[in-house]
Structure 1
Amino acid sequence: ALLADRGLDPAREPLWLFGHSDGATIALLHAAAFPGVAAGAVVIAPHLWVEDVTLAGLRGARRDFLEGDLRTRLTRWHDGPDSAFWGWNGVWLDERFHGWSIVDEVGAIRCPLLAVQGTEDEYGTLEQIRSVARRVPGTVLLELPGCGHVPHRERPRELIAAVTRFVARSADPP
């Protein structure tokens, strides 16, 4: 319905999915649920399950939001920083969510994937994207040494170059 509302027809013009963190997870779920709709996907720091490092990072973010300057920094990106923060942090730290996983769903993906993860990501490990690669043949991995959770801010030139190469190669296969 969203695609139709926006006048997008994947049968006429294949879509490329691009997501970061929870948005990357959404891109993976979309590609799995609607085969043939996505020409390809770039997923940066996706979550396939809840890791201990994720929970530790979220607890640290909660402290920074309550006691530090995270709320102020979020106003740059969100009109409602409280709603954005608690809608994200509250769900992930809810004990009922700790068994959540999309590992099984990812295996249904058939489009080209570029999966990106920083080696110093405070919310996830390299095992997240490596798990994607084990389940989706042909997945291209980009592991960024010394990079945290936000490669598009921390390593923009390297990320843009990798995405450009990947899309060009995937859009025009030999």
Structure 2
Amino acid sequence: MNWLSHNGVGLHWRRDGDPNGSAILFLNSLGTDLRMWDAVLESLPQGHSLLRLDTRGHGLSDAPAGAYSLEALVEDAEAVLDQAGISSAIVVGISLGGMMAMSLALKAKDRVRGLVLSNTAPRMGSREMWSARMATIRENGLEAISDQILDRWFADPDARCANGPWRSMLCRTPVDGYLGCCGALATADLTDRVAEIACPTLVIGGSHDGASPPDLVRSGAERIAQARYIELDGIGHLPPIEAPRQFADHVTSFLTEIADD
């Protein structure tokens, strides 16, 4: 476990693998934490420095009240790279984490050697959609919408079970943290900028994704010159959980591709 304070916010991050290897930074989705990557990391080749961050408001990171911004979340990720002594990394982001990864690649081109963007898009949802979700959570808590969220997350009914670990992870997310990140998603729109992303990019969609439908993910990939899109059949919004070995295999192939360039 590693900790840092950035702009008064405590951030929890972790490093696995070879500390001297090439760096890969993993950024989690809304309502999860860095543990969502556990099974993926087990299937990746050795020799990489594997960094994971609990996004602000999630896991063991602080959850300040109020709306966050995508820019602030990206600065958190940069602070982790700084503390880890990493000058450049491949960044793997899913959903909200994918938007963070895209924004980081636009802001700090020299620090991002490649992107893996999973189940994400330059714009996710509308202000009205996020405002309605936030109002429901303020009134009734996360548990009240957990069934809806898990239905969008997973194609596999077993992953949606009432006593499952992923429901527990979602419902234990601090309400202030979840709402803060909803605020960031409500205002974030990279549609007019993603064409500026110049690094090699792998974009992954899930055929049964109810949160970021594959057509939305594919259309985002088409805006990035060096992007390649793949779709995982029968998989929902969170392939690192639902199909970790398959996800890791695609990441490994991508690492090999860009190493040969």
Taking the TM superposition and a 5 Å limit, the aligned residue runs for 1:33-48 are 33-48=107-122
Q: What's the CA shift for 1:34?
A: 2.0
Three-state SS of the structure 1 residue aligned to 2:222 is helix
> 1:53-88 CA deviation, whole Å, 9 max, x = no partner?
xx49x85x9578243767x85654786532333333
The alignment partner of 2:205 has SS state of: strand
Computed over aligned residues only, the root mean square deviation of the Cα atoms, in angstroms, reads 3.1
State the partner residue of 1:82.
Answer: 175
Q: Tell me whether 1:20 sits opposite 2:113 in the alignment.
A: no
Q: Provide closer, same or farther for how the CA distance between residues 66 and 167 of structure 1 changes in structure 2, counting only shifts above 3 A.
A: same
The answer as to whether partners of 1:20 and 1:45 remain within 8 angstroms in 2 is: yes
CA distance in 2, matches of 1:49, 1:138: 19
> d(CA) in 1 for partners of 2:182 and 2:124?
13
Candidates 132, 143, 148, aligned match of 2:231? 143
CA distance in 2 between counterparts of 1:127 and 1:33 reads: 26
- Tell me: CA distance 1:8–1:146, structure 2 relative to 1, closer, same or farther (3 Å): same
Q: Give the direction of change, closer, same or farther, for the CA distance of 1:114–1:69 in structure 2 (3 Å limit).
A: closer
Q: Select between 160-169 and 61-70 the one with higher mean Cα deviation.
A: 61-70
Q: What secondary structure sits across from 1:141 in the alignment?
A: strand
What is the DSSP-based 3-state SS (H/G/I as helix, E as strand, rest coil) of the residue aligned with 2:248?
Answer: helix
Opposite residue 144 of structure 2, the aligned amino acid is E
Counterpart in the other structure of 2:258: 170
For residues 169 and 78 of structure 1, do their structure 2 counterparts lie closer, same or farther at Cα, with a shift above 3 Å needed?
farther
Structure 1 residues without counterparts, runs of 5 or longer = none
For 1:142-166, what per-residue CA distance to the aligned partner results, in whole angstroms no more than 9, with x for missing partners? 2112211100111111111111001
Q: How does 1:40-119 map to 2 (within 5 A)?
A: 40-51=114-125, 55=129, 59=133, 65-67=142-144, 75-76=168-169, 80-89=173-182, 92=185, 97=186, 100-119=188-207
- Taking structure 2 as the reference length, what is the TM-score of the superposition? 0.52
- Closer, same or farther in 2 for the Cα pair 1:84/1:78, shift >3 Å? farther
Q: TM-score, normalised by structure 1?
A: 0.75
The list of structure 1 runs, each at least 4 consecutive aligned residues, that deviate by more than 6 angstroms after superposition, is none
| Aligned residues of 1:39 and 1:112 also touching (Cα < 8 A) | yes
Cα offset, 1:35, TM superposition: 1.9
Per-residue CA deviation, residues 113-148 of structure 1 (Å, 9 max, x unaligned), is 111111211211223332233221231112112211
Aligned-residue sequence identity (percent) comes to 25
Instruction: Note the residue ranges of structure 2 that are not aligned, 5 or more in a row.
Output: 1-77, 148-162
**Alignment CA distance shift 1:43-1:65 (3 Å):** same
In structure 1, the residue matched to 2:220 is 132
- Which residue of structure 1 aligns with residue 104 of structure 2? 30
